[in-house]
Structures are given as C-alpha cells and as structure tokens.
Amino acid sequence: MQAMTYTTEHCDVAIIGGGPAGLMAAETISASGHAVHLYDAMPSVGRKFLLAGKGGMNLTHAEPSAQFHARYGQRSATLTPMLHAFGADAVRDWTKGLGIDTFVGSSQRVFPTDMKAAPLLRAWLKRLRESGVQFHMRHRWMGWDEHQALRFATPDGERHVQANAVVLALGGGSWARLGSDGAWLPLLLDAGIASTPLKPANCGFDIAWSEHFRSRFAGQPLKSVIARCTDTREQLHTRQGECVISESGIEGGLIYALSAFLRDRIDLDGHATLTLDLAPGKSAERVLDEVSQPRGARSLSSHLQSKVGITGVKSGLLREVLSKEAFADPHQLAAAIKALPLTLVATRPIDEVISSAGGVLFESLDENLMAHAMPGVFCAGEMLDWEAPTGGYLLTACFASGRRAGDGVTAWLKHRSAR
C-alpha cells in the first residue's frame, strides 16, 4: 500500500493549547509583531477557565508577595521571578485593560466585579483576534513528524505544520473532558523533555466510612474546624476552615489546602492521618471539664450539644471513629473532640480533581521555559511541574508562565534572525 503523503504548512509561531497560559503566550508574542497560530483540540478555547469561573472567577490573591510566592512550595524559587514579572498586581492591571474591574474579597481573593469568567474571556479573545492571532479548533496534537513538523488530527484528516517556534500549553491531567487529558506526556518523554507522572492536586480523599455514616452525612458541610497533618518530613501543617463529607470521604477548601502533604504521605505510607479539632475555640482543658460535668437525665448527644456545641455531623464523626466505650469515657471523648484522627486511604481520581501536580521538569527547560532537548519549543502553564492551592494562585502562575514563554519565544526568534 502506498504511504499517505501530507502537505506541510508553515507558520511563524504555533501555540498548542487554548487555556490561560497559551492565550497569554499568544498575546505576548503577537504584541512583538510575530504571526501567531493557536491550535486546540476542543471546539472552543478556555473551557476549564470558564468552568473555574462558575462559582466566581478567582483571578489572583491580594496577600503580600512573600506569602503569595510561598504558596508554590518546592517550586517557589523557580516561579518567583515569573511572578515578579507578572504577579497579582499585573493580573489586575491586565484585567482592567480588558475593560473589566476587579475587587478584593474578604478572604483577599481577587474577582472581577461581576464575578464572571465569560465576559473576560470574550474581551480577551476579541483583543487577540484584533492583534492577528489565528485560532484553529478541533486540532489534536499528535507529536512531531520525522522533519520536526507538528502533527495534528483534525476533522478533515491529519495536518502537518512547520513552525519557527512552538509553545506547548497543554494543561495538566484533570477534567479531561475539557481538554487537559495529559496525553502529551509520552510525546514529550519520547522527545527527550524530562517529565514526571501527573498526580492529583487540590483533591479530595477516600475514607472507609460506614454505610450508616455515609447515608446520614454525605454532602454535609463540616464547619469551623482546624485540620492538621504531618508531611513526609514529619513537619506539622495546620489550617482552619471548612470542608465537606463526601460519599467516598472528605473534600473541600480546607482539605485542598493540605492535599499535597496528604497525597505524598499516602504515596509513602499507603495512608495518611488527618486530625480534626472539632472545637477550635476551646482549650483541651475546657472541653474535658465540659464533657465531664454531670448530665443528669440528658442523653450524651444532648449533653455534647449543650456544653460543647457538638452536634450533627461533628457528633456523627465522633461516633464513627470512637468505640462505644471510648465515646462514653470523658477523657477519650474530650481528646477526640480536640484531635479526631481520620485515616485517608487514597486520593480521588485525577480526572475529577481541581488541578494536577507533576509534568515537565523545570530542570529540562532554560530560564525562558525553552526545552534544552528541543530548541525553539517552549512549555507553559499547568503542564509544568508545580502545584499551588486554590485562591487565585493556579491562574496567576499560568498567566505568568505563559508570559515568560511568550517573552522567551520573542527573544529566541530575535536571536535566531540576528545570526
């Protein structure tokens, strides 16, 4: 059978991936006068961006920069120069430049005044199109051909594109139905771009609830608690907030803030212990005194509600974890109220979590995010090996890395043309 032949098209700069990082790279590069073609596997761009805005478009965070940068954990030192160049203040200025004002909420999170993602995305795409960026939808990237041209699967068959520079902004591994399925990982490994496996971040965890507890409390919020855990180096981490009991275990903002430590602990030991303080406003001594007081004819549950304010799902958790004997013993009960241990056995599947960790190692890239193994190929966004909690940190780093890759492309093309 005769081999199928393809006509290879040419373009100046190809960007693969239409999320925040890819769009920011497109904006940066087109502003320098280069012709930009953006390719995405989905019928439209920014799908995960729009989903993230459903509960209120959290763009960035207004806390001091030192605290902000520390949210990126082990990759803080790597990301800090990018965040200095395009951080929280720059995000707000950029948003204003699109005609959309922002405000700082009570939690220091920054939102558009209308809380919506769609108007911002529409304004952004309008500006990109006016700057000459061309969009190619339903183009699924399949790697490179033998001449280093990009291969795309399209509704009209396979298409090959030779670009002077390429930005890969392919997302992580969560919410595959929105386009970020992590299918790029083996393609980059084959090309010599070192990466680590993708894993869940900002995720919920499985707990072996009894059927009685699950049927009564799944879906209920657990408010005003302090959560503690130790990481793989035995360092203690503490957060206060709210979470939710799920069918399979526990999830929500408080859990997401600790999820990296809990996940790594499960990877090391096969399980992790999350300790909850169910009465954070009271000392251990006070709780012991209150549960030890005579209760007369009242049930123990009524006594706990009256004296300690423990009721509903908190009371259910105590009964779930403690034996009947321990629940009836004031000392064991008081100790559990202040430090209730929950055993987490697994993360939730990566496809349903908010974000992913792992990906392209920064060590395989230069300071402008260009791959050492493939000059002219840059990487940006969630596909890089970093993670951060929710609160605007994820989106800000995607913007910042997209801007860095865009500047890198511009500098590289200028250097190349000067040779």
Q: What is the pLDDT of residues 146-159, one digit of tens each?
A: 999 999 999 999 99
Structure tokens at 387: 């993670």
Q: Taking all residues of the chain, what is their mean pLDDT, rounded to a whole number?
A: 94
pLDDT at 309: 83
34: left (phi over 0), alpha (psi -120 to 50) or beta: beta
Count Cα atoms within 13 angstroms, Cβ side, for 109: 17
CATH number 3.40.50.300 is the correct assignment for the domain at 8-201+352-418: no
Domains of the chain, residue spans: 8-201+352-418, 205-347
Q: Where are the beta strands (DSSP E) in 24-129?
A: 36-39, 60-61, 102-104, 109-112
Q: How confident is the model at residue 262 (pLDDT cuts 50, 70, 90)?
A: very high
pLDDT (mean) for 294-317 = 82
pLDDT (mean) for 115-122 = 96
pTM of the model: 0.92
Of the candidates 170, 165, 172, the residue with the CA atom closest to the CA atom of residue 139: 170
- Residue 411 in this model has a pLDDT that exceeds 80: yes
pLDDT at 297: 67
pLDDT (mean) for 177-203 = 93
- Residue 344 in this model has a pLDDT that exceeds 60: yes
Q: Which residue has the tokens 């230069």?
A: 366
Q: How confident is the model at residue 1 (pLDDT cuts 50, 70, 90)?
A: very low
- Residue 4 in this model has a pLDDT that exceeds 90: no
pLDDT (mean) for 323-342 = 94
Q: What is the distance between the alpha carbons of residues 294 and 68, in angstroms, rounded to a whole number?
A: 49
